[in-house]
Amino acid sequence: MKFWKDRRFLVTGGSGFLGSRILVKMRERGATRIVVPRQRDYDLVHFDNVVRAYADAEPDIVIHLAAQVGGIGANRANPGRFFYNNLMMGAQLMEVGRQRSIEKFVAIGTICAYPKLTPVPFKEEDLWNGYPEETNAPYGLAKKMMLVQSRSYREQYGFNSIFLLPVNLYGPGDNFDPATSHAIPAIITKCVDATRGGKDEIVLWGTGTPTREFIHVDDVAEGILLATEHYNSSDPVNLGSGMEISIRDLADSIARLTGFRGRIVWDASQPDGQPRRCLDVSKAESLFGFRAKIRFEEGLRQTIEWYSNSRM
């Protein structure tokens, strides 16, 4: 409790899906001095706004969650914007933090930073063994530059920053916008809406054969806060559940849990994305005691219930 009570925090993206859960858990730990810079007041793509956010918050620790991100469709439509905006936010926030000699910078990366054909399970040592999957490479590489920056700044300036790699998130409050949502909310939306609309068919992208790993947003929030308190190295660390499931099996599970009994059509003309994703999560447990706890089916039920109630 003393760690959280005695420090001032700047949490970018604190009003978002993951950020809102982190704020709850920070306050439960005793944190009271938390500043969340809203985009309308501080567009962190611009250097002057980054400087102003630091001046206003005077943080001891920065947790950088803010990102411009979406599913495969959003990444294909915005490769330049996703690369530039994420790169500039991360680089400038860490640089100004270094200039101000803050105690710690917590950088949140992305599973999209891994090479397209990374052996499963993904080990942190494999991060530089190839180019990321093409549809989300600009976003993944922009985020991975914070790892380069973290290591460089630690070596030259002794700056304390860490770099965490969460796998695909899901849970209540997720982004259900069809234009930008990821796999779980996108499939839930189609199944729930089809059931309510009396439709007997839904169409999903790709072949359904790729695999993914998912982790509940509350689990990831816990992992980030454990690392914030206990981990002090620039070596990257995976945050995941260690559970791998195919998109086809995921769709079947969501259909069953939502009560959708119609046909699932796979549109193979659309991209599958990375062939497989599953993390080696042993380092997070050994370095700062993190292990995911929420069972996948229970998390899916929570997410479906939240979406159904929000639609009502």
Active site residues: 139
Which pLDDT band, with edges at 50, 70 and 90, does 211 fall under? very high
Mean pLDDT, residues 146-155 taken together? 98
Nearest 5 degrees, angle CA 178-CA 181-CA 185?
90
d(C-alpha 140, C-alpha 147), whole Å = 11
Residue 297, strand partner residues: none
243 Cβ neighbours under 8 A, 6+ residues apart: 213, 214, 278, 296
CB 232 within 8 A of CB 205: no
- pLDDT tens for each residue of 223-237: 999 999 999 999 999
Q: What percentage of the chain has pLDDT greater than the value 70? A: 100
User: How much of the chain is in helix, strand and coil states, percent to nearest 5?
Assistant: 45, 15, 35
d(C-alpha 199, C-alpha 291), whole Å = 40
Output the pLDDT for position 73: 85
Output the pLDDT for position 120: 95
- Counting Cα atoms < 13 Å in the Cβ hemisphere of 76 gives 9
* pLDDT above 90: residue 74: no
Cα 95 to its chain centre, rounded Å, is 22
Mean pLDDT, residues 163-176 taken together? 96
* pLDDT above 90: residue 290: yes
Q: If one looks up domain 2-171+213-243+277-294 in CATH, what number appears?
A: 3.40.50.720
Output the pLDDT for position 10: 98
